[in-house]
């Protein structure tokens, strides 16, 4: 989509504004958006040069679920090493910054994903030919989790059975 202002560059900034139920949208390139008078103040000021939390700390569904949070960096707050998103960013806007955020903030996101989708694992269709391999992988993951629980509960006989079953499953590969 081309920029609505200069009609030359690709629109990379998309703004939607809802006032009294009336929706207006603007699709601008970064240069035109930086020069647009309606974005030269307030929460959109310096959006293109701002850190993640000030650019996207606008509030959202997940923010309401997790409770109020400060969008500034705080000592002890986890931050994704790949994109720089913090726990507060995700809580305030309801979106993760990148795919690695799911690994970094998995313990925080899992209850909400489970509540929304009913599960945290994909249970949909599997490509033909991959179902046997996927089933074996899922069984191994399940056995490994059970093994960890058995060891923590000091059920060593059960742990030994699970270990043997895991070894047999791995040797069948």
Residue 153's alpha-carbon distances to 73, 144, 146, 162, 163, in angstroms, are 39, 14, 10, 14, 15
pLDDT tens digits, 17-28: 778 878 888 888
pLDDT for the residue 48: 44
Paired residues of 15 in beta bridges? 26
pLDDT tens digits, 58-115: 444 444 444 444 444 455 688 888 888 888 888 888 888 888 888 898 888 888 888 8
Residues 44-76, buried b or exposed e (16+ Cβ, 10 A)?
Answer: beebeeeebbbbbbeebebbeebeebebeeeee
The SS3 of residue 123 is coil
Contact predicate 93/56, CB 8 Å: yes
Residue 82's alpha-carbon distances to 85, 97, 112, 157, in angstroms, are 8, 9, 22, 42
CA distance 120 to 103: 13
DSSP H/E element including 10: none
């Amino acid at each position: 989509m081309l920029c609505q202002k200069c009609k030359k560059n690709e629109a990379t900034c998309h703004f939607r504004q809802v006032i009294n139920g009336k929706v207006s949208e603007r699709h601008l390139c970064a240069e035109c958006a930086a020069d647009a008078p309606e974005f030269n103040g307030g929460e959109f000021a310096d959006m293109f040069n701002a850190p993640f939390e000030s650019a996207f700390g606008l509030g959202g569904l997940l923010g309401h679920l997790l409770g109020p949070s400060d969008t500034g960096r705080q000592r002890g707050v986890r931050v994704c090493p790949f994109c720089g998103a913090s726990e507060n960013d995700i809580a305030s806007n309801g979106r993760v910054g990148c795919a690695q955020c799911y690994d970094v903030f998995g313990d925080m996101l899992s209850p909400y994903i489970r509540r929304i989708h009913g599960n945290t694992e994909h249970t949909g269709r599997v490509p033909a030919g991959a179902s046997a391999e996927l089933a074996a992988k899922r069984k191994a993951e399940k056995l490994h989790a059970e093994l960890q629980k058995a060891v923590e509960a000091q059920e060593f006989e059960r742990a030994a059975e699970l270990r043997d079953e895991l070894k047999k499953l791995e040797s069948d590969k």
